[in-house]
Structure 1
Amino acid sequence: MTQAPKSQPELFDRQALAIHRTRHQPEALFLHDLARDEVEDRLTLVNRTFTKPAIVSPFANIWRNSFPEARIVPDEEVLDLTPGAHDLVIHAMGLHWANDPVGQLIQCRRALAEDGLLLAVMLGGRTLHELRSALAEAETRVTGGLSPRIVPMGEVRDLGGLLQRAGFSLPVADVVPLTAQYRDSLHLMQELRAMGEANALNQRLKHPSPRALFAETEAIYREHFALDNGKLPATFELVCLTGWSPSDSQQKPLRPGSAKMRLSEALKVPETKLPK
C-alpha cells in the first residue's frame, strides 16, 4: 500500500508570531501606517466607490478610522471572509508571514464579488538586506555556520506571479522603497520586536545567541553601511499587489493576429523583413 506524500513543512511558527504581535508597541507600527496611507492613495486613483470593504490585518486599530465601515479580520491561515461578500479586499502587511501566500490570495479572490478589487501590501525582497548581510557574515565568523534569522521575502516579479496563480485579472505588482535610520544594530533589532516582526521561523534557534555575535554584527554593519551622520540605514521594501476578480466586463487582451493595422503602419516606418 502506497503512503500519501507528506505535506511540505511549514516555514513559519504562527503561534510564535501571534505571541510576538501581542508584545508590539503601537508607536513602532510605522510600516503599517505607511501601508494604510499607500492604500488610501491608490484608492483615490480608482474610479469606483467601494461599499463593502474587508481588511485582513494583524492590527485592526490602524485601519478603523480610515475604513470605519470595513470588516476587519486577522491574517490567520484560514481567513474569516464570506465568499462573494465584498467589493474590496485589502490584505495588509501579513502575506510575508503566510505559510501559503497563494492560498491567502485565493481566499481573498473568493471573498470578492465579480469585478472586485484586491489591494495587498507586504514586505519585499530587499527588506533588511543590510542587517541580513551583516548577521550572516558575523555568524559565519563567530560560530562557523548560519542559522535562519530573518524572514525570506519574495522579489516583486515573483510576488506579481502569485496574483496570476490565484486567478486574479489585470494583475499589477510594484515597489515602494523606504529607508529608516537607527542609532545602532541593537536599536534596529529592538524596533523589529516592537513591530511584532521578530524571528518566527520554524527552524530558528531555540537558545540564546552569544553576545559576540551581536558585537560582530554591529561592527560589520557599521563598516559596510554606516551613514555620514553615524547612524545605520535599514531598507524596508513595501510591495503592492493589485488585482481584480474576473468579470466579463473587464478589458481583455487582443487575440494574436487580430490587429487591424501593422505596427510599421502605426509607427509610419518602413517594414524590414528578417532574413530567413
Structure 2
Amino acid sequence: MTASPEATSASSSAPPRIFDARRREARLARAAHRLGQADFLHVRAAENAAGSLEAILRDFPVAVDLSAHSGPFAQALAASDAAGRVGVVASPTSRAERAAPGAAALPLDDGSTDLIVSLLSLHWANDLPGALAQIRKALKPDGLFIGTLFGAGTLKELRSVLTEAELAERGGAQARVSPFADGYDGAALLQRAGFALPVSDVDRFTVRYPDLFALVRDLRAMGETNVLDGPIRPLNRAVIARAASLYAERHGDADGRIPATFEIIHLAGWKPHESQQKPLARGSAKVRLADALGVKEMTGDEID
C-alpha cells in the first residue's frame, strides 16, 4: 500500500495509470509463500464473504474467485454452511491478471458464471468501474458478485508520518500510501458498473503493532507495498527513523505499541434480471406515509 509519485495517463481516452502492474505482480510473487505470516485481513474478508453466502439460500453451481490470494476464501467457504451450495470454485486468472484487475479482458465468457468473488484486489485497479463492469458481464443474469477492497481510512497514520518525515529530512515528499476509494461510494460504484440491488458496508478496525517495522513486515507479507506508477526514490535511514519516532510520538499507546487503521469496503451486487425486486414508480404509493406510520401529517403552517 506504500506508494511512489503521481502517475499520468498514457492517452487522453485511457484511465489514468495509477498503479504499475509489473511492480504489483512482483509484490504478489514475493508474498506467495509469506501470506500465512500476515493473512488476518484476507481471512477476515473471506469469512465475511462466506457468511454472506450462508444467508443466501440458493445454489451457485459455477463460481469463480478473482482474489489476489485465493486460499483464504476457499478455506472460509469449506468451513461454512454455504459450502454445499457453491460449486467448485475456479481461479482462472494468472498472477499477472490478478495484479491488474480490469486491465485485460477476463478469461470468462459473458453470462457464464453464477458467483464471482474478489477479495482485497480491486483497490489496485486503474479503472475500478471498468473492472467491475467486466465482472458483471461474466455473470449469468441474477448472478452474484461479492467483493472487498481497502477504503480511504486504511493506514491513515502511516500516510501522515511518512509524509511529515520525508518533508523534514528531504524538503519534499512523494506519495507513499496508495489512494483508496471512499467507503460511502461503494453502492454508487456498483450501480455505475451496471449491478442491481447494490449493497455496501464498511468494516473499520485497528491493529496494534510493536513498532513501524512490524507493520511494514506484515504489509510485505500481504503483497501490499509500493506499486504506484513512476520512479521510486527509496527512503533512507534518516527518513525511516524519523517516521518511526513520529508514529510512536503521535499515535503510540501507553504500552508503547502503535495502532494501524484498516478499512475494508464490502460490496455485493447482482447481475440484473427481470425476476428481481424493483422499486415502485414514483407516485404509485396507495397509502400515505403518515397513515402507515400512524402519525398526524403536519403542514408547513403547523410546524413551529
Q: Do they superpose with TM above 0.5?
A: yes
Distance 1:6 1:245, change over 3 A: closer
Aligned residue in 2 for 1:136: 163
Aligned match of 1:49 in 59, 79, 83? 59
Aligned residue in 1 for 2:175: 148
| SS of residue matched to 2:272 | coil
Asked if 1:22 corresponds to 2:41, the answer is: no
For structure 2, which runs of at least 5 residues remain unmatched after alignment?
1-10, 79-86
8 A Cα contact 1:103 1:166, kept in partner: yes
8 A Cα contact 2:15 2:127, kept in partner: no
Asked if 1:104 corresponds to 2:131, the answer is: yes
The aligned runs of 1:90-239 (5 Å cut-off) are: 90-203=117-230, 205-239=231-265
8 A Cα contact 2:16 2:126, kept in partner: no
Please tell me the residue identity of whatever aligns with 2:35. Answer: P
Alignment partners' CA distance in 1, 2:179 and 2:234:
21
The aligned runs of 1:23-42 (5 Å cut-off) are: 23-24=30-31, 25-27=34-36, 28-42=38-52
Q: Kindly state the Cα deviation for residue 73 of structure 1 after the two structures are TM-superposed.
A: 3.1
8 A Cα contact 2:65 2:89, kept in partner: yes
| SS of residue matched to 1:73 | coil
Structure-2-length-normalised TM-score: 0.84
Q: Kindly state the Cα deviation for residue 8 of structure 1 after the two structures are TM-superposed.
A: 4.3
Alignment partners' CA distance in 2, 1:265 and 1:6:
53
For structure 1, which runs of at least 5 residues remain unmatched after alignment?
none
Q: Kindly state the Cα deviation for residue 206 of structure 1 after the two structures are TM-superposed.
A: 2.4
Please tell me the residue identity of whatever aligns with 2:19. Answer: F
8 A Cα contact 2:47 2:73, kept in partner: no
Q: Kindly state the Cα deviation for residue 138 of structure 1 after the two structures are TM-superposed.
A: 1.4
Asked if 1:7 corresponds to 2:14, the answer is: yes
8 A Cα contact 1:125 1:154, kept in partner: yes
Aligned match of 2:69 in 38, 43, 59? 59
Distance 1:89 1:145, change over 3 A: same
Give CA deviations for 1:44-101 in whole Å, capped at 9, x if unaligned: 1112221111110222333344367011133242222221111111111111001111
Please tell me the residue identity of whatever aligns with 2:264. Answer: L
Q: CA RMSD in A?
A: 1.7
| SS of residue matched to 1:241 | strand
Alignment partners' CA distance in 2, 1:125 and 1:206:
22
Please tell me the residue identity of whatever aligns with 1:117. Answer: L
Q: Kindly state the Cα deviation for residue 254 of structure 1 after the two structures are TM-superposed.
A: 1.0
Alignment partners' CA distance in 2, 1:231 and 1:81:
46
